[in-house]
Structure 1
Amino acid sequence: MSANIQEFEKTTLRERVSHALRAAVVAGELEPGNVYSAPELAKRFGVSATPVREAMLDLVREGLVATVPNKGYRVTEMAESELDQITELRMLIEPALVARALAHIPDGDLPELRAMAQAIVDEAAAGDLVAYTEADRAFHLRLLGYAGNDRATSLIADLRAHTRLYGLAALSERGELEESAREHHEILDAIAGGNAGLVEKLMRTHIGHVRESWASAEPTQRKRNSSS
Protein backbone atom coordinates (compact mmCIF):
# COMPACT_ATOMS: atom_id res chain seq x y z
CA MET A 1 0.00 0.00 0.00
CA SER A 2 2.72 2.49 1.01
CA ALA A 3 4.70 1.62 -2.15
CA ASN A 4 1.65 2.41 -4.28
CA ILE A 5 1.17 5.72 -2.49
CA GLN A 6 4.83 6.61 -3.02
CA GLU A 7 4.56 5.77 -6.71
CA PHE A 8 1.38 7.87 -6.99
CA GLU A 9 3.08 10.83 -5.31
CA LYS A 10 6.11 10.43 -7.59
CA THR A 11 3.88 10.35 -10.68
CA THR A 12 1.85 13.38 -9.68
CA LEU A 13 5.03 15.33 -8.85
CA ARG A 14 6.44 14.48 -12.27
CA GLU A 15 3.18 15.62 -13.87
CA ARG A 16 3.19 18.87 -11.90
CA VAL A 17 6.80 19.55 -12.88
CA SER A 18 6.05 18.66 -16.51
CA HIS A 19 3.14 21.12 -16.59
CA ALA A 20 5.26 23.85 -14.98
CA LEU A 21 8.20 23.33 -17.35
CA ARG A 22 5.91 23.18 -20.38
CA ALA A 23 4.20 26.39 -19.29
CA ALA A 24 7.58 28.05 -18.76
CA VAL A 25 8.58 27.15 -22.33
CA VAL A 26 5.29 28.43 -23.77
CA ALA A 27 5.47 31.68 -21.78
CA GLY A 28 9.07 32.29 -22.79
CA GLU A 29 10.34 32.04 -19.22
CA LEU A 30 12.70 29.38 -20.57
CA GLU A 31 14.15 31.04 -23.63
CA PRO A 32 14.66 29.39 -27.05
CA GLY A 33 18.24 28.40 -27.75
CA ASN A 34 19.29 28.58 -24.10
CA VAL A 35 20.62 25.49 -22.34
CA TYR A 36 19.30 24.70 -18.85
CA SER A 37 20.66 22.07 -16.49
CA ALA A 38 18.45 19.84 -14.36
CA PRO A 39 19.91 21.17 -11.06
CA GLU A 40 19.34 24.76 -12.25
CA LEU A 41 15.70 24.03 -13.13
CA ALA A 42 15.18 22.07 -9.91
CA LYS A 43 16.31 25.08 -7.87
CA ARG A 44 14.12 27.37 -9.93
CA PHE A 45 10.98 25.28 -9.38
CA GLY A 46 11.72 24.24 -5.81
CA VAL A 47 12.01 20.47 -6.39
CA SER A 48 14.80 17.91 -6.62
CA ALA A 49 16.64 17.23 -9.87
CA THR A 50 15.11 13.77 -10.34
CA PRO A 51 11.52 14.80 -11.20
CA VAL A 52 12.95 17.55 -13.41
CA ARG A 53 14.98 15.02 -15.42
CA GLU A 54 11.94 12.75 -15.67
CA ALA A 55 9.71 15.63 -16.73
CA MET A 56 12.22 16.84 -19.30
CA LEU A 57 12.02 13.43 -20.97
CA ASP A 58 8.36 14.22 -21.67
CA LEU A 59 9.30 17.57 -23.20
CA VAL A 60 12.03 15.96 -25.30
CA ARG A 61 9.48 13.52 -26.73
CA GLU A 62 7.16 16.44 -27.47
CA GLY A 63 9.92 18.29 -29.28
CA LEU A 64 9.85 21.25 -26.88
CA VAL A 65 13.45 20.75 -25.77
CA ALA A 66 16.48 18.86 -27.03
CA THR A 67 19.05 17.06 -24.91
CA VAL A 68 22.54 18.57 -24.85
CA PRO A 69 24.98 15.87 -23.66
CA ASN A 70 26.70 16.66 -20.36
CA LYS A 71 25.04 20.08 -20.18
CA GLY A 72 21.27 19.83 -19.98
CA TYR A 73 18.43 20.78 -22.27
CA ARG A 74 18.08 23.36 -25.01
CA VAL A 75 14.67 24.92 -25.63
CA THR A 76 13.77 24.49 -29.30
CA GLU A 77 12.94 27.53 -31.40
CA MET A 78 9.71 28.03 -33.34
CA ALA A 79 9.59 29.88 -36.65
CA GLU A 80 6.90 32.49 -37.23
CA SER A 81 5.46 30.31 -40.00
CA GLU A 82 5.08 27.43 -37.54
CA LEU A 83 3.22 29.66 -35.08
CA ASP A 84 0.93 30.76 -37.92
CA GLN A 85 0.20 27.12 -38.78
CA ILE A 86 -0.57 26.32 -35.14
CA THR A 87 -2.98 29.25 -34.98
CA GLU A 88 -4.68 28.19 -38.21
CA LEU A 89 -5.24 24.68 -36.89
CA ARG A 90 -6.58 25.98 -33.59
CA MET A 91 -8.96 28.31 -35.48
CA LEU A 92 -10.27 25.37 -37.50
CA ILE A 93 -10.88 23.15 -34.48
CA GLU A 94 -11.42 25.01 -31.20
CA PRO A 95 -14.16 27.60 -31.88
CA ALA A 96 -16.52 25.13 -33.56
CA LEU A 97 -15.80 22.39 -31.03
CA VAL A 98 -16.35 24.60 -27.97
CA ALA A 99 -19.56 25.96 -29.53
CA ARG A 100 -20.74 22.39 -30.05
CA ALA A 101 -19.75 21.49 -26.49
CA LEU A 102 -22.03 24.19 -25.11
CA ALA A 103 -25.03 21.87 -25.13
CA HIS A 104 -23.11 19.41 -22.92
CA ILE A 105 -21.95 21.82 -20.22
CA PRO A 106 -24.17 21.38 -17.13
CA ASP A 107 -25.29 24.55 -15.38
CA GLY A 108 -23.90 23.04 -12.20
CA ASP A 109 -20.39 23.14 -13.66
CA LEU A 110 -20.47 26.88 -14.35
CA PRO A 111 -19.29 27.96 -10.86
CA GLU A 112 -16.22 25.76 -11.16
CA LEU A 113 -15.54 27.06 -14.68
CA ARG A 114 -15.92 30.61 -13.33
CA ALA A 115 -13.35 29.84 -10.67
CA MET A 116 -10.97 28.49 -13.31
CA ALA A 117 -11.45 31.62 -15.43
CA GLN A 118 -10.88 33.82 -12.39
CA ALA A 119 -7.68 31.93 -11.61
CA ILE A 120 -6.37 33.04 -15.02
CA VAL A 121 -7.21 36.65 -14.18
CA ASP A 122 -5.64 36.35 -10.72
CA GLU A 123 -2.39 34.90 -12.07
CA ALA A 124 -2.27 37.64 -14.69
CA ALA A 125 -2.71 40.26 -11.98
CA ALA A 126 0.05 38.62 -9.94
CA GLY A 127 2.38 38.61 -12.95
CA ASP A 128 3.05 34.86 -12.60
CA LEU A 129 3.34 33.96 -16.28
CA VAL A 130 3.98 30.25 -15.72
CA ALA A 131 0.93 29.87 -13.46
CA TYR A 132 -1.09 32.03 -15.87
CA THR A 133 -0.17 29.83 -18.83
CA GLU A 134 -1.00 26.65 -16.93
CA ALA A 135 -4.34 28.02 -15.70
CA ASP A 136 -5.18 29.09 -19.25
CA ARG A 137 -4.31 25.63 -20.58
CA ALA A 138 -6.45 23.88 -17.96
CA PHE A 139 -9.46 26.11 -18.68
CA HIS A 140 -9.44 25.65 -22.45
CA LEU A 141 -8.86 21.91 -22.34
CA ARG A 142 -11.68 21.59 -19.81
CA LEU A 143 -14.07 23.35 -22.22
CA LEU A 144 -12.97 21.15 -25.10
CA GLY A 145 -13.48 18.06 -22.96
CA TYR A 146 -17.24 18.63 -22.93
CA ALA A 147 -17.34 18.00 -26.68
CA GLY A 148 -16.36 14.39 -26.05
CA ASN A 149 -13.70 14.29 -28.79
CA ASP A 150 -10.58 13.06 -26.98
CA ARG A 151 -8.46 13.08 -30.14
CA ALA A 152 -9.26 16.71 -30.84
CA THR A 153 -8.57 17.68 -27.22
CA SER A 154 -5.23 15.86 -27.30
CA LEU A 155 -4.32 17.56 -30.57
CA ILE A 156 -5.14 21.01 -29.18
CA ALA A 157 -3.13 20.27 -26.04
CA ASP A 158 -0.14 19.45 -28.25
CA LEU A 159 -0.63 22.57 -30.39
CA ARG A 160 -0.86 24.75 -27.29
CA ALA A 161 2.35 23.23 -25.94
CA HIS A 162 4.15 24.29 -29.11
CA THR A 163 2.77 27.83 -29.06
CA ARG A 164 5.14 30.57 -27.91
CA LEU A 165 3.73 33.52 -25.98
CA TYR A 166 6.77 35.76 -25.80
CA GLY A 167 4.62 38.88 -25.56
CA LEU A 168 3.10 37.92 -22.21
CA ALA A 169 5.87 39.60 -20.22
CA ALA A 170 5.42 42.90 -22.05
CA LEU A 171 1.63 42.74 -21.63
CA SER A 172 2.07 42.03 -17.93
CA GLU A 173 4.51 44.91 -17.48
CA ARG A 174 2.07 47.29 -19.18
CA GLY A 175 -0.81 46.05 -17.01
CA GLU A 176 -2.72 44.74 -20.04
CA LEU A 177 -2.53 41.00 -19.37
CA GLU A 178 -5.22 41.06 -16.68
CA GLU A 179 -7.62 42.79 -19.07
CA SER A 180 -6.88 40.20 -21.76
CA ALA A 181 -7.44 37.41 -19.24
CA ARG A 182 -11.00 38.62 -18.72
CA GLU A 183 -11.83 37.35 -22.22
CA HIS A 184 -12.33 33.97 -20.55
CA HIS A 185 -15.22 35.38 -18.50
CA GLU A 186 -16.78 36.77 -21.69
CA ILE A 187 -16.66 33.30 -23.21
CA LEU A 188 -18.34 31.88 -20.11
CA ASP A 189 -21.02 34.59 -20.26
CA ALA A 190 -21.88 33.42 -23.78
CA ILE A 191 -21.88 29.80 -22.63
CA ALA A 192 -24.17 30.61 -19.70
CA GLY A 193 -26.49 32.42 -22.13
CA GLY A 194 -26.59 29.40 -24.45
CA ASN A 195 -25.37 31.48 -27.39
CA ALA A 196 -23.31 29.05 -29.48
CA GLY A 197 -22.75 31.56 -32.27
CA LEU A 198 -21.30 34.11 -29.85
CA VAL A 199 -19.16 31.45 -28.19
CA GLU A 200 -17.61 30.56 -31.54
CA LYS A 201 -17.04 34.24 -32.39
CA LEU A 202 -15.41 34.99 -29.04
CA MET A 203 -13.19 31.92 -29.31
CA ARG A 204 -11.97 33.07 -32.73
CA THR A 205 -11.23 36.54 -31.38
CA HIS A 206 -9.44 35.07 -28.37
CA ILE A 207 -7.22 32.77 -30.43
CA GLY A 208 -6.49 35.67 -32.76
CA HIS A 209 -5.28 37.72 -29.81
CA VAL A 210 -3.05 34.86 -28.73
CA ARG A 211 -1.24 34.98 -32.07
CA GLU A 212 -1.30 38.70 -32.77
CA SER A 213 -0.53 40.11 -29.32
CA TRP A 214 0.44 37.42 -26.83
CA ALA A 215 2.86 35.62 -29.17
CA SER A 216 4.58 38.81 -30.33
CA ALA A 217 7.93 39.41 -28.71
CA GLU A 218 9.22 42.86 -27.94
CA PRO A 219 12.11 43.89 -30.25
CA THR A 220 14.70 43.34 -27.50
CA GLN A 221 13.25 39.94 -26.65
CA ARG A 222 13.14 38.93 -30.31
CA LYS A 223 16.73 40.07 -30.80
CA ARG A 224 17.89 38.21 -27.72
CA ASN A 225 16.14 35.03 -28.83
CA SER A 226 17.61 35.21 -32.34
CA SER A 227 21.13 35.65 -30.99
CA SER A 228 20.95 32.80 -28.46
Structure 2
Amino acid sequence: MGASGAVTRSTLRQQIADALSDEVLAGRLRQGREFTVKQIAEQYGVSATPVREALFDLSAQGLLESDQHRGFRVREFGVADYRSMVEARTLVIDGVIRDIFFAPRPSAAHVAAYRDCMVSVRRRAQEAARAALSGDLDILIGYDLRFWRELGAIAGNPYINDFLHRLRVQAWVFAVPYLRHDARARDWLWNRHPDLVAAITAGDRDGVRAVMDDYSRHALTWADRLAAGELEHPGHAAPPAAHEPGGGSGDGPGGEPAAPRP
Protein backbone atom coordinates (compact mmCIF):
# COMPACT_ATOMS: atom_id res chain seq x y z
CA MET A 1 0.00 0.00 0.00
CA GLY A 2 1.32 3.45 -0.88
CA ALA A 3 1.70 6.32 1.55
CA SER A 4 -1.58 7.96 0.56
CA GLY A 5 -3.45 4.69 1.08
CA ALA A 6 -1.92 4.27 4.52
CA VAL A 7 -2.97 7.81 5.50
CA THR A 8 -6.50 7.20 4.25
CA ARG A 9 -6.85 3.99 6.24
CA SER A 10 -5.38 5.59 9.35
CA THR A 11 -7.77 8.54 9.04
CA LEU A 12 -10.76 6.25 8.56
CA ARG A 13 -9.69 4.20 11.55
CA GLN A 14 -9.69 7.35 13.72
CA GLN A 15 -13.02 8.53 12.33
CA ILE A 16 -14.65 5.21 13.18
CA ALA A 17 -13.10 5.19 16.65
CA ASP A 18 -14.33 8.77 17.24
CA ALA A 19 -17.83 7.98 16.00
CA LEU A 20 -18.15 4.88 18.17
CA SER A 21 -16.70 6.72 21.16
CA ASP A 22 -19.34 9.42 20.67
CA GLU A 23 -22.04 6.75 20.56
CA VAL A 24 -20.83 5.24 23.84
CA LEU A 25 -20.50 8.63 25.55
CA ALA A 26 -23.98 9.63 24.42
CA GLY A 27 -25.40 6.41 25.82
CA ARG A 28 -26.76 5.31 22.47
CA LEU A 29 -24.36 2.38 22.35
CA ARG A 30 -25.21 0.91 25.72
CA GLN A 31 -22.95 -0.70 28.24
CA GLY A 32 -22.94 -4.45 27.73
CA ARG A 33 -23.89 -4.23 24.04
CA GLU A 34 -22.17 -6.87 21.93
CA PHE A 35 -21.29 -6.55 18.25
CA THR A 36 -18.83 -7.85 15.68
CA VAL A 37 -16.40 -6.21 13.28
CA LYS A 38 -18.63 -7.30 10.39
CA GLN A 39 -21.70 -5.61 11.87
CA ILE A 40 -19.94 -2.29 12.41
CA ALA A 41 -18.30 -2.43 8.97
CA GLU A 42 -21.73 -2.93 7.40
CA GLN A 43 -23.21 -0.09 9.46
CA TYR A 44 -20.60 2.36 8.18
CA GLY A 45 -20.19 0.85 4.72
CA VAL A 46 -16.43 0.35 5.06
CA SER A 47 -14.01 -2.56 4.99
CA ALA A 48 -13.32 -4.65 8.06
CA THR A 49 -9.67 -3.64 8.53
CA PRO A 50 -10.07 -0.03 9.76
CA VAL A 51 -13.07 -1.11 11.85
CA ARG A 52 -11.07 -3.86 13.54
CA GLU A 53 -8.22 -1.44 14.23
CA ALA A 54 -10.62 1.18 15.62
CA LEU A 55 -12.28 -1.37 17.92
CA PHE A 56 -8.93 -2.50 19.26
CA ASP A 57 -8.03 1.16 19.86
CA LEU A 58 -11.20 1.62 21.92
CA SER A 59 -10.45 -1.60 23.79
CA ALA A 60 -7.03 -0.20 24.69
CA GLN A 61 -8.78 2.90 26.03
CA GLY A 62 -10.95 0.75 28.26
CA LEU A 63 -14.26 1.47 26.51
CA LEU A 64 -14.67 -1.95 24.90
CA GLU A 65 -13.83 -5.52 25.81
CA SER A 66 -12.85 -8.03 23.14
CA ASP A 67 -13.64 -11.71 22.95
CA GLN A 68 -12.15 -13.74 20.11
CA HIS A 69 -15.31 -15.85 19.90
CA ARG A 70 -18.04 -13.23 20.36
CA GLY A 71 -16.52 -10.03 19.02
CA PHE A 72 -16.61 -6.84 21.08
CA ARG A 73 -18.67 -5.62 23.99
CA VAL A 74 -19.14 -2.15 25.47
CA ARG A 75 -17.50 -2.26 28.87
CA GLU A 76 -19.75 -2.01 31.92
CA PHE A 77 -18.69 0.08 34.91
CA GLY A 78 -20.09 -0.06 38.42
CA VAL A 79 -20.21 2.42 41.29
CA ALA A 80 -17.00 0.95 42.75
CA ASP A 81 -15.26 1.52 39.40
CA TYR A 82 -16.48 5.10 39.34
CA ARG A 83 -15.22 5.75 42.86
CA SER A 84 -11.81 4.38 41.90
CA MET A 85 -11.71 6.65 38.82
CA VAL A 86 -12.48 9.71 40.96
CA GLU A 87 -9.89 8.77 43.58
CA ALA A 88 -7.21 8.09 40.96
CA ARG A 89 -7.73 11.34 39.08
CA THR A 90 -7.79 13.28 42.37
CA LEU A 91 -4.38 11.96 43.37
CA VAL A 92 -2.84 12.71 39.97
CA ILE A 93 -4.43 16.15 39.58
CA ASP A 94 -3.27 17.20 43.04
CA GLY A 95 0.30 16.37 42.05
CA VAL A 96 0.05 18.15 38.71
CA ILE A 97 -1.38 21.34 40.22
CA ARG A 98 1.15 21.38 43.03
CA ASP A 99 4.15 20.85 40.76
CA ILE A 100 3.09 22.94 37.76
CA PHE A 101 0.87 25.82 38.78
CA PHE A 102 2.73 26.55 42.00
CA ALA A 103 6.31 25.80 41.02
CA PRO A 104 8.69 28.04 43.00
CA ARG A 105 10.48 29.46 39.96
CA PRO A 106 8.73 28.75 36.65
CA SER A 107 10.76 29.55 33.54
CA ALA A 108 9.88 32.50 31.29
CA ALA A 109 9.01 30.08 28.47
CA HIS A 110 6.68 28.16 30.76
CA VAL A 111 4.97 31.36 31.93
CA ALA A 112 4.36 32.43 28.30
CA ALA A 113 2.98 29.01 27.31
CA TYR A 114 0.85 28.99 30.46
CA ARG A 115 -0.73 32.36 29.65
CA ASP A 116 -1.48 31.37 26.05
CA CYS A 117 -3.03 28.09 27.14
CA MET A 118 -5.20 29.70 29.82
CA VAL A 119 -6.95 31.90 27.24
CA SER A 120 -8.40 28.80 25.55
CA VAL A 121 -8.94 26.99 28.85
CA ARG A 122 -10.97 29.94 30.15
CA ARG A 123 -13.26 29.78 27.12
CA ARG A 124 -13.75 26.04 27.59
CA ALA A 125 -14.53 26.63 31.26
CA GLN A 126 -17.22 29.19 30.48
CA GLU A 127 -18.88 26.96 27.88
CA ALA A 128 -18.76 23.91 30.16
CA ALA A 129 -20.31 25.84 33.05
CA ARG A 130 -23.02 27.26 30.79
CA ALA A 131 -23.92 23.79 29.51
CA ALA A 132 -23.98 22.35 33.03
CA LEU A 133 -26.27 25.09 34.32
CA SER A 134 -28.64 24.60 31.38
CA GLY A 135 -28.57 20.82 31.74
CA ASP A 136 -27.26 20.27 28.20
CA LEU A 137 -25.42 17.01 28.79
CA ASP A 138 -24.15 16.49 25.24
CA ILE A 139 -22.56 19.94 25.06
CA LEU A 140 -21.20 19.64 28.60
CA ILE A 141 -19.36 16.37 27.96
CA GLY A 142 -17.50 17.78 24.97
CA TYR A 143 -16.45 21.00 26.68
CA ASP A 144 -15.64 19.32 29.98
CA LEU A 145 -13.30 16.83 28.30
CA ARG A 146 -11.63 19.60 26.28
CA PHE A 147 -11.31 21.83 29.35
CA TRP A 148 -9.48 19.25 31.43
CA ARG A 149 -7.36 18.06 28.52
CA GLU A 150 -6.16 21.58 27.69
CA LEU A 151 -5.60 22.39 31.34
CA GLY A 152 -3.60 19.20 31.77
CA ALA A 153 -1.52 19.95 28.69
CA ILE A 154 0.13 22.78 30.59
CA ALA A 155 1.92 20.14 32.64
CA GLY A 156 3.79 19.11 29.49
CA ASN A 157 3.47 15.39 30.25
CA PRO A 158 1.31 13.70 27.58
CA TYR A 159 1.32 10.38 29.44
CA ILE A 160 -0.30 11.91 32.52
CA ASN A 161 -2.72 13.87 30.37
CA ASP A 162 -3.74 10.80 28.35
CA PHE A 163 -4.25 8.82 31.56
CA LEU A 164 -6.49 11.50 33.05
CA HIS A 165 -8.45 11.88 29.80
CA ARG A 166 -9.07 8.14 29.71
CA LEU A 167 -10.37 8.23 33.29
CA ARG A 168 -12.73 11.10 32.50
CA VAL A 169 -14.11 9.43 29.40
CA GLN A 170 -14.76 6.25 31.38
CA ALA A 171 -16.38 8.25 34.19
CA TRP A 172 -18.72 9.95 31.72
CA VAL A 173 -19.58 6.59 30.12
CA PHE A 174 -20.61 5.33 33.55
CA ALA A 175 -22.52 8.47 34.50
CA VAL A 176 -24.44 9.26 31.30
CA PRO A 177 -27.14 6.55 31.57
CA TYR A 178 -28.03 7.71 35.08
CA LEU A 179 -27.99 11.41 34.24
CA ARG A 180 -30.18 11.01 31.15
CA HIS A 181 -32.91 9.40 33.24
CA ASP A 182 -32.66 11.58 36.34
CA ALA A 183 -35.08 14.49 36.71
CA ARG A 184 -32.56 16.12 39.06
CA ALA A 185 -29.60 15.64 36.73
CA ARG A 186 -28.91 19.37 36.49
CA ASP A 187 -28.23 19.41 40.25
CA TRP A 188 -25.44 16.88 39.74
CA LEU A 189 -23.62 18.52 36.83
CA TRP A 190 -20.49 20.16 38.23
CA ASN A 191 -20.17 23.73 36.95
CA ARG A 192 -17.25 25.33 38.75
CA HIS A 193 -14.76 25.24 35.87
CA PRO A 194 -14.51 29.08 35.79
CA ASP A 195 -13.82 29.17 39.53
CA LEU A 196 -10.86 26.85 39.06
CA VAL A 197 -9.48 28.96 36.21
CA ALA A 198 -9.85 32.12 38.29
CA ALA A 199 -8.04 30.58 41.26
CA ILE A 200 -5.21 29.25 39.09
CA THR A 201 -4.82 32.58 37.29
CA ALA A 202 -4.66 34.43 40.62
CA GLY A 203 -2.12 31.95 42.00
CA ASP A 204 -4.52 31.27 44.87
CA ARG A 205 -3.28 27.95 46.23
CA ASP A 206 -6.03 27.65 48.84
CA GLY A 207 -8.67 28.61 46.29
CA VAL A 208 -7.48 25.96 43.84
CA ARG A 209 -7.44 23.35 46.57
CA ALA A 210 -10.97 24.29 47.65
CA VAL A 211 -12.38 24.01 44.10
CA MET A 212 -10.61 20.71 43.45
CA ASP A 213 -11.84 19.32 46.78
CA ASP A 214 -15.35 20.35 45.77
CA TYR A 215 -14.89 18.64 42.38
CA SER A 216 -13.99 15.32 44.00
CA ARG A 217 -16.51 15.63 46.82
CA HIS A 218 -19.28 16.38 44.33
CA ALA A 219 -18.51 13.20 42.35
CA LEU A 220 -18.22 10.98 45.44
CA THR A 221 -21.45 12.34 46.93
CA TRP A 222 -23.22 11.46 43.70
CA ALA A 223 -21.69 7.97 43.89
CA ASP A 224 -23.08 7.63 47.44
CA ARG A 225 -26.52 8.43 46.06
CA LEU A 226 -26.17 5.68 43.46
CA ALA A 227 -24.83 3.19 45.99
CA ALA A 228 -27.86 3.89 48.18
CA GLY A 229 -30.08 2.76 45.30
CA GLU A 230 -31.74 6.11 44.70
CA LEU A 231 -31.47 5.58 40.95
CA GLU A 232 -31.78 2.47 38.83
CA HIS A 233 -29.20 1.96 36.10
CA PRO A 234 -31.05 2.30 32.77
CA GLY A 235 -27.97 1.95 30.59
CA HIS A 236 -27.30 -1.77 30.60
CA ALA A 237 -27.69 -3.66 27.37
CA ALA A 238 -31.15 -4.71 26.32
CA PRO A 239 -31.97 -7.36 23.74
CA PRO A 240 -30.98 -6.04 20.29
CA ALA A 241 -33.76 -4.32 18.42
CA ALA A 242 -34.22 -4.40 14.68
CA HIS A 243 -32.21 -1.20 14.21
CA GLU A 244 -29.26 -2.18 16.42
CA PRO A 245 -26.15 -4.31 15.75
CA GLY A 246 -27.15 -7.92 15.64
CA GLY A 247 -30.80 -7.06 15.19
CA GLY A 248 -31.09 -6.05 11.55
CA SER A 249 -30.45 -2.94 9.50
CA GLY A 250 -30.02 0.56 10.87
CA ASP A 251 -28.08 3.78 10.51
CA GLY A 252 -25.83 3.73 13.55
CA PRO A 253 -24.60 1.21 16.11
CA GLY A 254 -27.00 2.50 18.74
CA GLY A 255 -29.99 2.93 16.47
CA GLU A 256 -29.34 6.60 15.72
CA PRO A 257 -27.99 7.98 12.45
CA ALA A 258 -24.21 7.97 12.75
CA ALA A 259 -21.21 8.38 10.54
CA PRO A 260 -17.47 8.71 11.09
CA ARG A 261 -16.57 12.27 12.00
CA PRO A 262 -14.80 14.27 9.28
TM-score by length of 1: 0.72
Counterpart for residue 21 of structure 1? 20
Does 1:154 find its partner at 2:154? Answer: no
Q: How many residues align?
A: 221
Compute the displacement of 1:77 (Å).
1.3
- C-alpha change, 1:192 and 1:82, in structure 2 (3 Å) is same
The aligned runs of 1:1-228 (5 Å cut-off) are 7-8=6-7, 11-12=10-11, 14-26=13-25, 28-36=27-35, 48-49=45-46, 53-67=52-66, 73-102=72-101, 104=110, 106-121=114-129, 124=132, 125=134, 127-129=136-138, 131-163=139-171, 164-166=174-176, 167-170=178-181, 174=184, 176=186, 180-213=189-222, 221-222=232-233, 225=236
Compute the displacement of 1:210 (Å).
3.2
Tell me, in whole angstroms, the C-alpha distance in 2 between the residues paired with 1:118 and 1:35.
37
Q: Which moved more, 1:179-188 or 1:214-223?
A: 214-223
- C-alpha change, 1:6 and 1:211, in structure 2 (3 Å) is farther
TM-score by length of 2: 0.64
Which letter maps to 1:222? Answer: H
| Unaligned stretches of 5+ residues in structure 2 | 103-109, 240-262
Asked if the contact 1:25/1:31 (under 8 Å) is kept, the reply is yes
Tell me, in whole angstroms, the C-alpha distance in 1 between the residues paired with 2:80 and 2:64.
19
Q: Give 3-state SS (helix, strand or coil) of 1:78's partner.
A: coil
Compute the displacement of 1:25 (Å).
3.1
Asked if the contact 1:120/1:136 (under 8 Å) is kept, the reply is yes
Q: Give 3-state SS (helix, strand or coil) of 2:175's partner.
A: coil
Tell me, in whole angstroms, the C-alpha distance in 2 between the residues paired with 1:40 and 1:126.
34
CA shift digits 1:123-153 (9 cap, x unpaired):
5547352x53233222112212212333322
Aligned-pair Cα RMSD in Å: 3.9
Which letter maps to 2:64? Answer: V
Asked if the contact 2:121/2:147 (under 8 Å) is kept, the reply is yes
Which letter maps to 2:54? Answer: A
Tell me, in whole angstroms, the C-alpha distance in 2 between the residues paired with 1:174 and 1:49.
41
CA shift digits 1:172-210 (9 cap, x unpaired):
x54727x94531111111122121332132123213323
Which letter maps to 1:98? Answer: I
Asked if the contact 1:95/1:199 (under 8 Å) is kept, the reply is no
Tell me, in whole angstroms, the C-alpha distance in 2 between the residues paired with 1:200 and 1:7.
47
Q: Greater helix percent: which structure?
A: 1
Which letter maps to 2:136? Answer: G
